Amino acid sequence: MVFADLFFIYFFLPLCLIAYAAAKKLSAKNTVLIVFSLIFYAWGEPLWIFLLLFSSVLNWFVGIQIEKHRNTSGAKLAVAAGVSIDILLLLIFKYSAFFVENINGAFGASIPVPQITLPIGISFYTFQAISYVLDCYWETVRVQKHYTKFLLYISLFPQLIAGPIVRYSVVEDEIDNRSTTVNDLCEGALRVILGLAKKVILANNLWAIVDTFFGKDIAGLSVFGTWYTVITYSLYVYFDFSGYSDIAIGLGRMFGFHFDENFRHPFACKTIAEFWQRWHISLGSFFRDYLLYVPIFGKNRKYVSLFLVWFCTGMWHGAAWNYILWGLYFGFFIFFEQKLGKKRIKKWPIWWKHIYSKLVIVIGFGIFFFEDLGQLGQFFLNITGICMLTNGAPLADPITWSSLRNNIFLLVAAIAFSLPLLPKVKTYFLENKSDTIYAVGRVGSVAVCLVLLVILSILLVDSTNNPFLYFRF
């Protein structure tokens, strides 16, 4: 089941809210959420729900063993066993075909390639489970002794499929003690609608442009056409993924949970380090806290750990070499900025910081898009203009110009809404001391969201499938 679907918006979610409101005790409300979460997950492929349940039982049991054998080798053994099984399951279901294909290619072997369907959301709930186990061992959270409460944490449907990666510490107290106010419902609903609008109105239409130009062999694509499309793709990924995160955070708010932000207008950054402080924050903080400071070969090796983190960041996104290259590419620029130093970078003109960071980011999204390394190589020939010499590709072409003219308002809107303009408008109206301006802001925000809801509902009438990009990861 996906969020950008009329069945979810007008049947599943209202039914869940009604059942949740009808439950009087918090334990009953938790049960409602567990039931609806398992139905939500099993809707597309019921078989994988058993893998989710196995992961929840395993990591809950590991937490119990850590508490039972606290400060002994038994606790270390439990952590090692739990994390190893978690990673092994991820490797089997997500990377086994990738490993076999590369072994066959490197050694001329003919090992049958496993045909395993990737369970949706496995990367997200596995990382949540690992963070819980390690936090229990480090005593930064209390061990959850009730399995159903831990299952709620792992399976909670707002963030189950594509994040954000919610730490147990974020929801630890709210599992046992939370309430939903009218303000929570309103603010949550408005956030959900904005997230849906990002996906349905902006991301889907941006993807149509990308698919037109990058959905085929790009050998004949012009230099301008390549830059135009990769910039559009960068905006698409942002609105698709941040839209999902907005929906997840909004849904969580409607049920009394307060998830951390996952995006903070990343394209407003001035350095690559700042970009990753604003983009997919839950993943970046996961690797920072659980991998960056792990001693390698018995010592803290700063730059080895840095590139290990970015290797893992790339590999987490998919079983293909381009994702690994993408991770190491950003790792190189983080390394470059660290070696250069904050003081030197601070002296750069502001315009140069923006040009530098946006060029690196946009080219990075090109690496992210092309799983076919041949096409990736052609992409670099195109953006550098070398394609004009190698295969006579034009600098620009009429089709690209026509697409740009036809979609100029979409692109301008996408660029504008990717920047922190709405928060400033919201701050002006909703934090204004004038009662009149505050009232206009409140009424206006509700009116705008209702209009958006009508528009996206109309757009979804003839739409059969609206999966989010990060379902693949």
What does the DSSP 8-state code read for residue 200?
I
DSSP letters, 111-141, are PPPP--PPPTTHHHHHHHHHHHHHHHHTTSS
The single-letter code of the amino acid at 350 is I
Q: How far apart are the C-alpha atoms of 452 and 440, rounded to whole Å?
A: 18
317 flagged as catalytic:
yes
CA 210 to centroid of chain Cα atoms:
20
Query: Which residues are CB-neighbours of 75 under 8 A, at least 6 positions away?
Result: 65, 66, 69, 137
Q: Are 164 and 281 in contact (CB under 8 A)?
A: yes
Q: Hey, what are 192's tokens?
A: 């959900």
The one catalytic residue in 69, 258, 265, 317 is 317
Check if the beta carbon of residue 167 is closer than 8 Å to that of residue 131: yes
Extract the tokens encoding 264: 């903070």
366 contacts 383 by C-beta, under 8 angstroms: yes
Q: Which residue is listed with tokens 């090692």?
A: 80
Distance CA 1, CA 358 (A): 34
* Contact by Cβ (8 Å): 260, 273: no
219: part of which helix (H) or strand (E)?
none
| Active-site residue set | 317
